[in-house]
Amino acid sequence: MASREPRTSKVDWKIIIPWALTMLGLALGFVQYLDKAAFEARKPFIERQTELVSKAVEAVAVLATSSDDKVWMPAKDTFYQLYWGQLSMVENANVASWMVVARRQLEAAVASGEPRPLKSLQNISLCLAHAGRDLVLDAWKVKLDTVSIELTGVENCAKLLAEASAPSTKEPPAPDIDPKGGADAAPDSKAEPDPKLSQDCAINPDPKLCPGP
């Protein structure tokens, strides 16, 4: 009796390869669709973020370069409105840090009577602009060449941020002595904590800006 030979199944690559390529194409198309849909869902936020960051950068640039009250005062109002309001909804930690530094320097310059334009804000303005640039480029997934900037009197933005965030070493003035034997209340030498900075530290603590426990 003749023995049966085992059947050997042959793989028909002419069918499998086109089928596999078709399925791979469908999978890639689906992934791209999901990515595009996710971006479209984020797009209104990114557009608003770009708008508000651009307004903040422009306001600080005007404060640092203009001496015209007609543009300087509205820029100051815009800066504070963004600082205490809408910008806080969309900024990242880096932009928030530079906004804090800009506010402190603006108030110090006004208190000291620095003439306009406020040159003490110019380095800060440049660094804020580049922090905003990084945020916007990342949000829109745009790649641009790295740009180096020249600052006055300081090596780079990171060093400027560290210096601007360092606690002051100045001692508070001695209280005035009342001739009747009392003493006037000495001014509180401890600076009030910045609620904006405290909020940022709670979310994303930065050792350069956030005080220790």
pLDDT digits (tens, 9 = 90+) for 151-174: 988 889 999 999 988 875 544 455
Higher pLDDT, 199 or 68: 68
Write out pLDDT tens, residues 90-106. Answer: 999 999 999 999 999 99
Identify the residue with better confidence: 23 or 111. Answer: 111
The torsion angles phi and psi of 41, rounded to 5 degrees, stand at: -70, -35
**Per-residue pLDDT, 119:** 96
Torsions phi, psi for 54 (to 5 deg): -60, -40
How far is residue 200's CA from residue 180's CA, in Å, rounded to a whole number?
47
Q: How far apart are CA 24 and CA 21, in angstroms?
A: 5
196 confidence band (pLDDT: 50, 70, 90): low
pLDDT at 165: 82
Q: How confident is the model at residue 204 (pLDDT cuts 50, 70, 90)?
A: low
Number of H helices, E strands in the chain: 6, 0
For 27-52, the pLDDT digits (tens) are: 777 666 666 777 788 999 999 999 99
